[in-house]
Amino acid sequence: MAGGRTTGLILLPDQALHDTGDHPENGRRIPAVLDHLYRAPEWSELAVIESRQAEPDDILRVHGQGHLELIESRAAAGPGWIDGDTPISPGSYEVALKAAGAAMAGVDSMLGDPGSGPDSLFALIRPPGHHATPDRAMGFCLFNNAAVAARYAQHRHGVDRVAILDWDVHHGNGTQDAFWEDPSVLVISMHQWPLYPGTGWLAETGAGEGEGLTVNLPMPPGCGDREYLEAMGAVVEPALEAFDPGLLIVSAGQDGHFADPLSNEAITATGYNRMADRAASLAGRLGIGLIAVHEGGYNLATLPRLDRAILAGFGSYATDLDEGATGLPGGQGFDPGWDDRLREILKAQRPYWPLG
């Protein structure tokens, strides 16, 4: 790209087979993003990779056999519901395998032949994954795409340490559970708190050999660009640099945008662009690849612009960040109590990381 970094997309052509009807996580989300990107002037410069299907063994590095069989059987018997939030349809099992496979394809691109592909890739996939625990589907999620990708990077490519940065507005409880006692995977989550699923308080730092390798930044409702970027600079980036991973995976949910219907945060397109730029800059300094997997983001009028802003941040090129007629939230600029919360987070994390 013109800015010096290269980026691209991993596509999931069959995503509509995961048919969730009018659910907030529906089959119109990703096509809306792609339609917007097709018309963007940078489209011809983006690397485009198609997904492949994960094998059961790939899923079983994270999830139990019973979980895998449950998703397969419930999909075959569908349409129906896994729980009160999570619909499933006859095509869902296949699509979920391909969504995880898309994340794995990104790993192969980043690690298989260094220097031959882009510096980062954004997997435009659904269903999302970060709420799926090793033994439970929940929160719109069937398999944990980021966790499957992390384990695949370790198993297939011999990566010693993988870092997962989750900026979805909801806490990535499934990813946290998968690596709670694992010193080889650093899990960092910036999320609104309190909010579904009710986990992710700052005192949750891992256990056993994984103590300190779970980093939670519970952001008060109303936090926007300033607060999230301060969290990046004060905690996220120092912890990532100290951990020195061989791969960075971003669970990229854009439901912290001020116009998203499922949260109360106030991030703008500019905020997402800058978070993406800082994540990609850090990966560049560390000399590692970056893979982003799509998580939340439920306003079809704003999600396409947000995903484009993120790609521009990854690729360090200019793009239109105008929010258009949506404007800025009426509460923008009020104090959500972030300064006090940041002090609490720093106190909880200083025993583990070299923070200022």
Three-state DSSP class for 10? strand
Among residues 168, 158, 208, 209, the alpha carbon closest in space to that of 188 is found at 168
The tokens describing 342, both together, are 């940041």
Asked whether 272 and 33 are in contact (CB, 8 A), the reply is: no
CATH of domain 8-349: 3.40.800.20
Neighbours of 345 (CB within 10 A): 22
On whether the pTM is more than 0.75, the answer is yes
The tokens describing 96, both together, are 């979920």
The predicted pLDDT at position 323 comes to: 79
The tokens describing 79, both together, are 């349409």
91-116 mean pLDDT: 92
Token pair 């951990």 is found at 243
Q: Is the pLDDT of residue 297 over 90?
A: yes
**Phi, psi of 67, rounded to the nearest 5 degrees:** -65, -50
Among residues 172, 176, 171, 174, the alpha carbon closest in space to that of 194 is found at 171
**Residue 38's pLDDT band (boundaries 50, 70, 90)?**
very high
- Indicate the length of the chain as a whole number: 356
Token pair 């980036």 is found at 237
Asked whether 279 and 241 are in contact (CB, 8 A), the reply is: no
Q: Is the pLDDT of residue 327 over 80?
A: no
The predicted pLDDT at position 115 comes to: 64
The tokens describing 53, both together, are 């299907």
Exactly one of 18, 67, 130, 131 is catalytic; which is it? Answer: 131
The predicted pLDDT at position 324 comes to: 65
Each domain of the chain, given as residue ranges in start order, spans 8-349
Please report the sign of the dihedral spanned by the C-alpha atoms of residue 255, residue 32, residue 329, residue 311: positive
Q: Is the pLDDT of residue 334 over 90?
A: no
The predicted pLDDT at position 325 comes to: 57
131 is catalytic: yes
The predicted pLDDT at position 113 comes to: 73
Q: Percent of the chain at pLDDT above 70?
A: 95
51-69 mean pLDDT: 97
Q: With left for phi above 0 and alpha for psi between -120 and 50, is residue 307 left, alpha or beta?
A: alpha
Q: Is the pLDDT of residue 149 over 60?
A: yes
